[in-house]
Structure 1
């Protein structure tokens, strides 16, 4: 009846908001997932596009690399030739003495500032036994009377080609990439004999500043170039150089270049380096050989370049999420109201057509509507009810006037009612639900259930819950309740209580040999036999599988033992209709003060286990002083 009361009232705001809240969260979670997926797709496309743009910039710029190399070489050769023809150097060539030699350094500093030279400059005699030079530090030149760090005179002389002007790379140690680039120009005396060398020395960072590999300042700093003579990198290109060294054997430059060419097939190539970035590879033909440019592009750099897209995409996605949230909320609110109305109508219709007495009256007691079950229950017709006062047809105790008054005062009424119609008198569990219009009571919905029928249904449900469906005996649930009840009775009255636990010996073997149908028939037959042997106040239940329990109130251990022995003998002597003969083992325990139901059952279970261990078909009892077979 409370269900009827709830659904026939106006829509509950709490229930409505609860339903709306759960649906709203589900839709918002789905919409948030959609927005995140869209954001991921957009950012992935932006990321890929930015990466391709940077790669194209790198490829386009490196295409000019061979021309830049030639221009730089020609420019450096021109400057070196000018230096070789300077007055100071020519004075030393004509008159080689210490005074003229020391003036060469100051002259080189002056000429470097005048011609905006780059790199380090040295003058060496013909045998490269005596050198003087200037080094570039912080965009200024300083005198230096020794060779570059780590270079011996022998290695320095090996880096100077006495016959041809060209690039020369020299490393500090054998079998490592080059650290320096040498460009040399010979100095001839008046008789056209070699008198010395003017040499331009570039470290790898200096060389990287000369050759612009990309149009982006940040990218050129990260790039590196591999040549047949060595490898040079930008100021921030050490990471690129390290990545290249991990994948190509730079100790053998020719082999490294060969591996790169095979990998790239003489075209641009990109190599993914784990989850951190991508290594771009490009090549260019320079003076009969290929130079290869590398650019390691970490994903953080790509994200930095797409910073605008990133912020814009996130803002647009958030805006779409907010708009979607507003729309979803409005949609769900409308849907929830429609849902509430549909449920209310459907529930009212279902309840009105259910198997309960339901009559609608106004506040004066005039019948407005009655369901079909009410008509059949009282053997009435719809025509003789509508518009008639209810008490002209049915007699109520308490009266309808009392019920309507209590309904209005208490916003509903529930109780037992005696209803009479002719010679028929029934007792109903009755409820009256008010229906208001602008706070005025206009209808009362009377609904009732036959108490006798309800009691019958409840009894059947209880029986079903407490009975084993196969044997018809009580089940484990019911027995556990009865054991607790009997133990409380024993504690109050100090009367005896015994428990017998028994099961069929080798029951699995019977099932395997004769089938489960025969096994079920044996369980049913054993249940009937046990019911025939017990007393009226004894309780027998199927504990589970082939195990059964006898609960014997007001029975001491000796009496329980005798009951178990009698039952054991009956089972052992009987040959069943299906031709199967079997036995049972028994465990008996008796309640003692201060022991619990679980302990009482455990004692019987221990005795059953002992009977099984002793050969089956036996009765074992729990003695307080010791365990003993009977």
Structure 2
């Protein structure tokens, strides 16, 4: 690695197509508290939490494989001490000596927080100077306006980054990353307050046939329309998200087994009776599970997915709860 790149004022990490780290610069090592031997040869996902692994699989890998690059991805890496450190990452894929590698440049989001503090300090200094020197009033007012403008721009940038990172680009509803975070929150609430909650996994029946028959553009229209139906059918506290492909998830807070089944069956009917001018008709299959004290984040998803498989096997256009398997 070039000396200038090794000491560059940004993080650099390079890994092969299988995800194993080839190179990492000193800047990133210092930020994260690692040494070269801690990371080189290790898988990139060893630095990621479960939620951020999902981002890599649902967004990073598809885009790097399709477009050859990823721009301004909001991602968190786990440091040597276990701290979650936020970054903006740009990545590009290229071949080196017939080996495909992915190079990533990382900029710490912590700088934005420092920038906000700097703005506040500057504003305070400006106000003190305003009281001391009336003759500088006009100039100080201009500085104040510029600082306010920068603060607004900064808040808009931060808000936009969070929204982009949590939103599915096609349907406009929350994405898998957001679902994962909300699922973790529900589990914490359950452990503290023992409030029941349920999970639905919804899959469009014969969606491949829709794409093959009408084309992917119509398939996208169907996904957007289904997302809108789900949003309109659920309660205000329910959390609808796109899980990936033609699968959607709904987290149902304060919902036991019987109520979850009724909600899922209601969705089956609403979707079947909706006007599908693009395809003539459309149905979905639903898998349901209700969280118990023995469950984990992974187990409730797995059991809802198994219930979904049973709905598919038993003729589709139906809802099955894992408890009935």
**TM bucket by the smaller chain?**
0.5 to 0.7
Q: In the alignment, does 2:231 pair up with 1:495?
A: no
Q: Residue in 1 aligned with 2:290?
A: 590
Measure how far apart 1:610 and its partner are.
Answer: 0.5
Q: Residue in 2 aligned with 1:515?
A: 215
Measure how far apart 1:598 and its partner are.
Answer: 0.5
Q: Which runs of 4+ in 1 moved over 6 A?
A: 14-17
Contact 1:475 1:541 in 2 (8 A): yes
Please list every run of 5 or more consecutive structure 1 residues that lacks an aligned counterpart in the other structure: 1-13, 20-355, 357-390, 403-418, 430-448
Q: Residue in 1 aligned with 2:224?
A: 524
Higher relative contact order (CA 8 A, sep 6+): 2
Instruction: Write the mapping of 1:180-199 to structure 2, written as runs, cut at 5 A.
Output: none
Question: Secondary structure, in 3 states, of the residue corresponding to 1:450?
Answer: helix
Measure how far apart 1:478 and its partner are.
Answer: 1.1
Instruction: Write the mapping of 1:142-221 to structure 2, written as runs, cut at 5 A.
Output: none
Measure how far apart 1:594 and its partner are.
Answer: 3.0
Q: 1:602 to 1:427 in 2, by over 3 A?
A: farther
Q: In the alignment, does 2:183 pair up with 1:453?
A: no
Q: Residue in 1 aligned with 2:167?
A: 467
RMSD of aligned residue pairs (Cα, Å): 3.3
Measure how far apart 1:475 and its partner are.
Answer: 0.6
- Choose the corresponding residue for 1:557, options 253, 257, 270: 257
Contact 2:311 2:318 in 1 (8 A): yes
- Choose the corresponding residue for 2:206, options 506, 517, 522: 506
Q: 1:182-233: CA deviations, max 9, x gaps?
A: xxxxxxxxxxxxxxxxxxxxxxxxxxxxxxxxxxxxxxxxxxxxxxxxxxxx
Contact 1:483 1:551 in 2 (8 A): yes
Q: 1:398 to 1:491 in 2, by over 3 A?
A: farther
Q: 1:271-326: CA deviations, max 9, x gaps?
A: xxxxxxxxxxxxxxxxxxxxxxxxxxxxxxxxxxxxxxxxxxxxxxxxxxxxxxxx
Q: 1:316-360: CA deviations, max 9, x gaps?
A: xxxxxxxxxxxxxxxxxxxxxxxxxxxxxxxxxxxxxxxx9xxxx
- TM normalised by structure 2 equals 0.57
Q: 1:16 to 1:608 in 2, by over 3 A?
A: closer
Measure how far apart 1:428 and its partner are.
Answer: 3.8
Q: 1:395 to 1:488 in 2, by over 3 A?
A: closer
Contact 1:395 1:420 in 2 (8 A): no
Query: Partners in 2 of 1:522 and 1:401 — Cα distance?
Result: 62
Q: 1:600 to 1:398 in 2, by over 3 A?
A: farther
Q: 1:482-538: CA deviations, max 9, x gaps?
A: 111111011111101110001100100111111111111110110111110111111
Q: Which of the pair has more CA radius of gyration?
A: 1
- TM normalised by structure 1 equals 0.30
Equivalenced residue count is 205
Q: 1:550-590: CA deviations, max 9, x gaps?
A: 01111112111111111100111123122421110000100
Query: Partners in 2 of 1:520 and 1:620 — Cα distance?
Result: 26
Contact 1:395 1:421 in 2 (8 A): no
Contact 1:501 1:608 in 2 (8 A): yes
- Choose the corresponding residue for 2:182, options 466, 482, 495: 482
Q: 1:592 to 1:581 in 2, by over 3 A?
A: same
Query: Partners in 2 of 1:462 and 1:563 — Cα distance?
Result: 30
Q: 1:27-63: CA deviations, max 9, x gaps?
A: xxxxxxxxxxxxxxxxxxxxxxxxxxxxxxxxxxxxx
Contact 2:171 2:227 in 1 (8 A): yes
Query: Partners in 1 of 2:315 and 2:140 — Cα distance?
Result: 69
Q: Residue in 2 aligned with 1:443?
A: none
